[in-house]
Chain A
C-alpha cells in the first residue's frame, strides 16, 4: 500500500469528491455563477482539510451544467489553499487527453502540493467531450485502454519508448517534471459493474469504484471480481487499494436527510441524465445495508463501518454537493463529518 501512499494503520481514509457540476438549487431555481461555484469548491476543500478529511477530488465533464472542465487548474488552486490533504481528479478523462500533458499537469500538481497529488483516470459517462475535443465515440474503449496504459507507463518509467494508434510515438522521451517521489498513485475509475472492475484488476492498478444506490452486497461482488482478477494476473490484492465513492448526506435524522437531499439529486439528474432518481429507490437509501450514506451521523457511521467490514476498502469518498447544494449545507455536513463521523470511523478502522 505504501506505493499508493496509504497507511492502513491510520484506518479507513475519508474523502470528498465533486463532479464539478454547476446546477440550479431546486429550492430557488437559481444558479450561482461559474466563478462563484469554482470559488466555493476551493472553499469546500479548505473546510474539508480543517475537518481532518484525508482526500479531496474534482472531476471533469465538458458540457453544460458543469464548471470544472479544467479540473487540473482548480486542483492547483486547491493545492495552494491546503497543506495536508491528498488531492486528486475524479475522474480525469484520459481517453480524450494526451497522457503526456496529463502527466505533466499532475506531476506539477504533486510538486506544488508537496507530494499530495493522485490521478483517477476514467472514460466519461457523459460523452459530450468526444465531439468537442475531436474524438470518435466508436473508439471509446480503445482510446481509454491505450491512453491509460501509456499514462501508467509514463508513471513507471522515466524514459519512454512507446508507439500506439491514437498518439504520435515517443522515442527516448522524458516526461517532466517527475512527481516528488518519482511516481504518483494512478487509479482506474470503475462504474460499479464486475466487468469494468475486472479490467482494473488485469491492469494491476488501484480501483476507484463509483456507485449510485442499491445494496452494498452487490458492490462486494464487484470488489471481489477486481481482487480475483488481480490474483489471476499475479498481483497481490493486499497491496492494491480500493476506494468507493457515492452519495452522502448527514442531517439530524434520516428523514431530514432524505428531505434535504432528494430534490438536489432528483432535479440534478433530470438535467444531466434526462431522468430523475425514483423516490422509491431513494427512500431505501437510509436502509443500513444500502450503499448510499444518507442518514443521521450515527446511522452513517454504522453504514460506513458495515461497508468497511464487507469491502475491506482503504478509502471512502463522499459526494455531497451534487445538484446545486447550497454552501451552508455543505459546511454543515463537513462539520458533522469532522466532529462526529470521522473520529468514530477512524477509531474503529485503525489497524493495531
Chain B
C-alpha cells in the first residue's frame, strides 16, 4: 500500500507541521506501508494547461505521477480567502477527471478560526467526489491555537490525527480487498 501525504500550500508552516506528524504516525503504526511526502512549497509546479499528466515535465510530472500512483492520499490544506489555496486546486486541475478512482482520500485542515469549519464540506469534498475518490468522511480540523512553535500542542488534535491515519489505512485495505474480490468475480 502506498500513501502520499500532500501538503497543499506554498505559504506558512501549520499544514506542513500537521502532515509531518501524520506521516510519522503512519510510519510508526504501519511500518509496511510505503509513505511519501509532497510539500507543494518544495516543488516548482506549473499551472495546468490541459494536457495529459504524463506529458508534463520536471516537478509537475513528478508530483502528478506520485499522486496517481498512490493508493491513498492524505491531503493537508490551509484555508485561504475562505477556500482551498490555488496551489492545491491546481493539483486537481493537473490530474484526469477520474484521477481518484479506486483511491482513498483523507483530509486535514488548518485554519485561522473555526468559522472556516465547513469549507472542506462545501468546497473540497465536492471536488474529490467528482474525481471519484473514496473519502474518509471525518476530517481533522486544526486551528491556529492548536499550534505552538511548529508543534501541535492540543492532545485532542493528535488523537484525531491518529484516528485519521487508522481510518485511512483501514478503508484502503478494506476497499482494495472488496474491489479485488469483485473484479475476480468478473472472471476476465
**When the two chains form their complex, are residues B49 and A255 in contact, meaning their CB atoms are under 8 A apart?**
no
Q: Are B188 and A258 in contact (CB under 8 A)?
A: yes
Is B96 a contact partner of A275 (Cβ separation < 8 A)?
yes
Question: How many angstroms from the CA of A46 to the CA of B116 in the assembled complex?
Answer: 66
Complex interface: chain B residues within 8 A of A128 (CB):
55
Q: When A274-B96, A275-B68, A275-B96 are in contact, do A255 and B55 touch as well, CB less than 8 Å?
A: no
| Chain B residue at smallest Cβ distance from A256 | B188
In the complex, A258 Cα to B54 Cα: how many Å?
27
Is there an interface contact between B54 and A273, defined as CB atoms closer than 8 Å?
Answer: yes
List the count of A-B residue pairs having beta carbons below 8 Å apart: 44
* Shortest distance between the CB of B182 and any CB in chain A (Å): 8
Q: Give which listed residue, B50, B53, B188, contacts A259 with CB less than 8 A.
A: B188
A11 → B minimal CB distance (Å): 32
Query: Interface residues of A toward B: which range?
Result: 10 to 19
Mark each residue of chain A from 310 to 321: 1 if its CB lies under 8 Å from any CB of chain B, else 0. Answer: 000000000000
B101 interfacial by beta-carbon distance below 8 Å: yes
Which A residues are CB-close (under 8 A) to B186?
Answer: 258, 279-280, 283
16 residue pairs from A and B, CB less than 8 Å apart = A126-B52, A137-B51, A138-B49, A140-B50, A255-B188, A258-B188, A259-B187, A262-B188, A274-B54, A274-B68, A275-B98, A275-B101, A279-B186, A279-B188, A280-B182, A283-B186
Give 13 A-B pairs besides A137-B50, A258-B187, A275-B68 with Cβ atoms closer than 8 angstroms: A125-B52, A127-B51, A127-B55, A255-B187, A255-B188, A258-B188, A273-B52, A273-B96, A274-B96, A275-B98, A275-B101, A279-B183, A280-B183
Residues of A within 8 A of B (CB): 125-128, 137-138, 140, 255, 258-259, 262, 273-275, 278-280, 283
B residues touching A (Cβ–Cβ < 8 Å)? 49-55, 65, 68, 96, 98-99, 101-102, 182-183, 186-188
